[in-house]
Amino acid sequence: MFTLKKTIFKIWLFASLTTGFYACTPTMEKLQTDALRYNFGNILNISLTPDSTIRRVGCFTDAGSWMGFTLPQAEKWINGFCGPFSIDNRIWFALSAIEVHFADKTEAWVPDSVSYFPGEIYMKSSSASGSIEQRMNFVNNTTALLQVSSDADYGFSFNDKEWNSQVTLKQENQNITAYHPNGEIVQLTFMPDVTLNCDGKHYTAHTQPDCRQTYVALSFYFTDEELASGTQRSIALLQNPQPALTANAERWQEYLQKILRNDLKHEYDRIAVKSVVTLISNWRTHREGLLHEGVIPSHAVPYFIGFWAWDSWRFSAALVRFAPELAKNNIRAMFDYQLPDGMIIDCIYTDPAENNARDSKPPLVCWAVDEIFAHNQDTAFVKEMYPQLLAYYKWWYKKRDHNRNGMCEFGATDGTLEAARWESGMDNAIRFDQATMLKNGPDAWSLNQESIDLNAYLAFECRLLKKFAKLTGNTFDGPDYINKVADYFFDDKIGWFCDRRIPNESFIEEPACEGYTPFWVQIASKEQMEKALALFTDTTKFSTYIPFPTAAADNPQCDPNGYWRGPIWLDQTYQAIKGLRNYGYKDLADRYTQQVFDRCQGLTGDAPIHENYGTHNGERLQAPHFSWSASHLLMMYEDLGK
């Protein structure tokens, strides 16, 4: 079905885009339903007419670009897309760098329709003289192409709307270049028949009087060198935009073809598509201290503009399904900063001075590499990564096994509880309330408890490293405790996996999401699953309105708004559901998946995917446009009914 659709799509697209470029006639009619993205209008609500103080924003961005745009609000209408917005430095270069009107007319504009399609934003507006359509697509990681068309013969005029007060403008030939003191540069490139005027603070531009269609390139650069080479590319783009637009359309068609199923209802398809859009909108190209492209947790939140370790592993496991090269580079980006002792540090930024090497993050990278291998049989990538993966695995046993019994602890390089809790990824989890620090060496400290999730992940990594060694002709010579972890951490008294204290090995009996992990990595016995099933299905504990919270709901210390003390984190919910599926409880797993899809607020509508959700009501909590929630929703969608 999809093969035929793709063939029809290419034929139609070629015919529509090869209409004579310099003929001022509209060719930007909506693609037919063969283009899958047009089945998913208003995939996200990014309507925002900003002011200069707004720093937290979800926007349209694609192809790894560091700039984004929003759709204007109907009640604060601007006849152009808002922005660009600098995702790294959190500044608006302009309220709107390009506002569009009919030439020689001063008229009010009324919005007719706006939409965010996967990989494209669109608006149509009307005045007394006619209507104008605008579309924007990213053609690469520096440049977005604006397409403007009309049903009238007046031609177009363009102007800026409120440049940032620190920006200065310069005109050269068909380019308007906006410079900010932070070093970032925005350039607008107009077609050869457009007349430009610029006074250093504002510009105006006019097409020929009878023009019904034109294009403008909007580019974002970090250095003068990038500007010099990029200017020539923008000129070439406007001379022949069709190949770039075709490539954009085909790229998004391929993304959606790879992930969409033909046996689920449209609302669930929207969740899958929104997950792809979320991951791609968080894609950032290499820049300064980020030596490879990768995916950030959320472009909408200032403190998430970097790459994190276990976040990256999760993103890559999902990305390989539709963007395999990005999945691989996302892993390489973190290993660019692997320390000589094998440690992978917590997070990295464009400015390496901001990197956090106080802690690592839970080891899930072999899982991500195995997902890449499973989807494309890329043995070369496994071989490339194997020495670094093995070094990281061994690091845990060298630096995080306080009593040398083969069971590791979360910890820190600086001896602080804060960093050790960060290393777990579950910053304020109930299980750490009474934790203290133990010194292992000059740069190695552990919490005084051995954690079930950490050791389950390590058992999983061990199993996969053995597999990789056979695939690549290497020898696995690391510690192997696969057969000991489950029995060591299973508390028969309560029927759940729990952390154990050092030195007395007593259980920390606070049933929580870390207990899902052994079932996800399949180290638990069937008997342990049978005992744990009572807690899994107990509506007072884990079978809540949105299933599988981060702490048992009846724990007196559970807080439904308490970050890792009760809310729903979809990675943990995914691991619980997948765990049930692994042990043969398919119908139960499907029912819980449908509860997630149907009850998390806004998932099937136009709301962004959030960092976490309310356990008892599905409300959206922290961080919108969140990549790791998107990653696991995509995997749940893939598993549903199978």
* Confidence band for 190, pLDDT divided at 50, 70 and 90: very high
Residue 364 Rama label (left phi>0; alpha psi -120 to 50; beta): alpha
Domain boundary residue, one of 198, 227, 253: 253
Give the model confidence (pLDDT) of 254-298 as tens digits. Answer: 999 999 999 999 999 999 999 999 999 999 999 999 999 999 999
Whether residue 243 lies inside any domain: the answer is no
Count up the domains in the chain and report the number.
Answer: 2
**Model-wide pTM > 0.75:** yes
* Confidence band for 43, pLDDT divided at 50, 70 and 90: very high
CB within 8 A of 363, min separation 6: which ones?
310, 392, 393, 396, 454, 457, 458, 461
Query: What is the maximal distance between C-alpha atoms in the chain?
Result: 85
pLDDT score at 1: 38
Domain boundary residue, one of 197, 228, 253: 253
Tokens of 542: 């884990």
Domain harbouring 302, CATH code: 1.50.10.10
Domain boundary residue, one of 253, 282, 309: 253
Whether residue 14 lies inside any domain: the answer is yes
Please, what is the average pLDDT of the chain?
94
472 class by beta-carbon count within 10 Å (0-12 exposed, 13-18 middle, 19+ buried): middle
Whether residue 374 lies inside any domain: the answer is yes
Give the model confidence (pLDDT) of 495-553 as tens digits. Answer: 999 999 999 999 999 999 999 999 999 999 999 999 999 999 999 999 999 999 999 99
555 near 492, Cβ under 8 Å? no
Domain harbouring 102, CATH code: 2.70.98.50
Give the model confidence (pLDDT) of 572-598 as tens digits. Answer: 999 999 999 999 999 999 999 999 999
85, 78, 82: which is closest to 101 by C-alpha?
A: 78
Whether residue 202 lies inside any domain: the answer is yes
Give the model confidence (pLDDT) of 353-371 as tens digits. Answer: 999 999 999 999 999 999 9
pLDDT score at 18: 35
392 near 380, Cβ under 8 Å? no
Same-domain pairing of 444 and 582: yes
Same-domain pairing of 457 and 586: yes
Strands (E), 32-174: 67-70, 82-86, 91-92, 94-102, 110-117, 120-127, 130-138, 143-150, 156-163, 168-172
Question: What is the three-class DSSP state of 620?
Answer: strand
What's the mean pLDDT in 106-116? Answer: 94
Same-domain pairing of 232 and 264: no
Whether residue 167 lies inside any domain: the answer is yes
Same-domain pairing of 433 and 551: yes
Whether residue 343 lies inside any domain: the answer is yes
pLDDT score at 115: 97
Same-domain pairing of 183 and 298: no
Give the model confidence (pLDDT) of 3-41 as tens digits. Answer: 434 443 443 343 343 333 333 433 444 444 479 999 999
Same-domain pairing of 316 and 381: yes
Same-domain pairing of 204 and 284: no
Same-domain pairing of 489 and 394: yes
pLDDT score at 52: 79
Same-domain pairing of 296 and 403: yes
Question: What is the three-class DSSP state of 133?
Answer: strand
d(CA 150, CA 17): 16
CB within 8 A of 338, min separation 6: which ones?
344, 388, 391, 392
Does the structure show a pLDDT above 70 at 396?
yes
Q: Is the peptide bond before 84 cis (omega within 30 degrees of 0)?
A: yes
d(CA 327, CA 336): 15
Tokens of 237: 């783009």
Query: Which of 49-58, 350-359, 377-386, 633-642 is predicted least confidently?
Result: 49-58
In the block, residue with structure tokens 């090497």: 357
* Confidence band for 54, pLDDT divided at 50, 70 and 90: confident
Give the model confidence (pLDDT) of 242-251 as tens digits. Answer: 999 999 999 9
Whether residue 371 lies inside any domain: the answer is yes
Q: Are strands 130-138 and 143-150 parallel, antiparallel or unpaired?
A: antiparallel
Q: Residue 587 carries which DSSP code?
A: H
Work out the percent of the chain whose per-residue pLDDT is above 70.
95
639 near 625, Cβ under 8 Å? no
448, 237, 440: which is closest to 341 by C-alpha?
A: 440
d(CA 396, CA 455): 10
Enclosing domain of residue 199: 2-238+248-253
46 class by beta-carbon count within 10 Å (0-12 exposed, 13-18 middle, 19+ buried): buried
Tokens of 118: 């996967």
Residue 425 Rama label (left phi>0; alpha psi -120 to 50; beta): left
pLDDT score at 340: 98
d(CA 422, CA 246): 44
Q: Residue 560 carries which DSSP code?
A: T
pLDDT score at 104: 82
pLDDT score at 158: 97
Amino acid sitting at position 154: Y
pLDDT score at 486: 98
Work out the percent of the chain whose per-residue pLDDT is above 90.
92
Does the structure show a pLDDT above 90 at 95?
yes
619 near 568, Cβ under 8 Å? no
